[in-house]
Amino acid sequence: GYYDLEMKAARKMQGDLAKKYGVEAFMYYHYWFDGKKVMYKIPEFNATGEEPNLPFFLCWANEPWNNTWSGLNKGVLLAQKYGELSEWDTHFEYLQTLFKSDYYIKIDNKPVFAIYRMGSIPEQILLGMLARWRQLAITHGWSGLFIIICHHNVPEILMHHIDALYNFEPLTTPNFYKQVFPAPQIPH
């Protein structure tokens, strides 16, 4: 049925359903375009202890918004610009407002932060941005950042700059699972 996650009752219902069926945490998409946050209310509600009252972390959906969903293949609605040092700092300072929440997931005192399309960020910008964010995290009292990326589209050279991978199911093929998780050999 219809629901609006800006309504506390809807978020409570979602949290109750998640808990009932064993979902222990949420990963919220994080939208950041040229220094501005978009669609941010739900993780901010959760960070303050409002419903759904579950642990969470962010996944930066770092793609431009365009009107391809409308069937048109042209027209960028919101461009994805990665900026330079001052923009990285501004972005991190916003993230820090969520990282400090008791509900935000940390591993070894590192806030967990996922990047959807790490391979879309120019390599030199990505390396500089991650180094800066890790430095800022330490300045804020964390032990760094725990970076998770979607397994697709990542140059091998960048793999040693991350802590974990996750699967994005619509892009995961049966062949991927056969390569990563070969069928067990059953003795005769």
pLDDT of 68: 67
Q: Is the pLDDT of residue 162 over 70?
A: yes
Environment class of residue 137 by beta-carbon count within 10 Å: exposed (0-12), middle (13-18) or buried (19+)?
Answer: buried
Q: What is the distance between the alpha carbons of residues 91 and 34, in angstroms, rounded to a whole number?
A: 9
Q: Is the pLDDT of residue 94 over 60?
A: yes
pLDDT in tens, 22-77: 999 999 999 999 889 999 999 999 999 899 989 999 999 998 787 766 555 567 78
pLDDT of 72: 56
pLDDT of 139: 98
DSSP for the chain reads ----TTSHHHHHHHHHHHHHTT---EEEEEEEETTEEES-HHHHHHHTT-TT---EEEEE--S-EEGGGGT----EEE------HHHHHHHHHHHHHHHTSTTB-EETTEEEEEETTGGGS-HHHHHHHHHHHHHHHHHTT-S--EEEEESSS--GGGGGG-SEEE--GGG--HHHHHHHSPPPPPP-
Per-residue pLDDT averaged across 4-33, rounded? 93
pLDDT of 37: 93
pLDDT of 187: 47
Q: What is the distance between the alpha carbons of residues 88 and 182, in angstroms, rounded to a whole number?
A: 41
Per-residue pLDDT averaged across 166-176, rounded? 59
Per-residue pLDDT averaged across 165-173, rounded? 65
pLDDT of 185: 47
pLDDT in tens, 97-156: 999 999 999 999 999 999 988 878 888 999 999 999 999 999 999 999 999 987 666 667
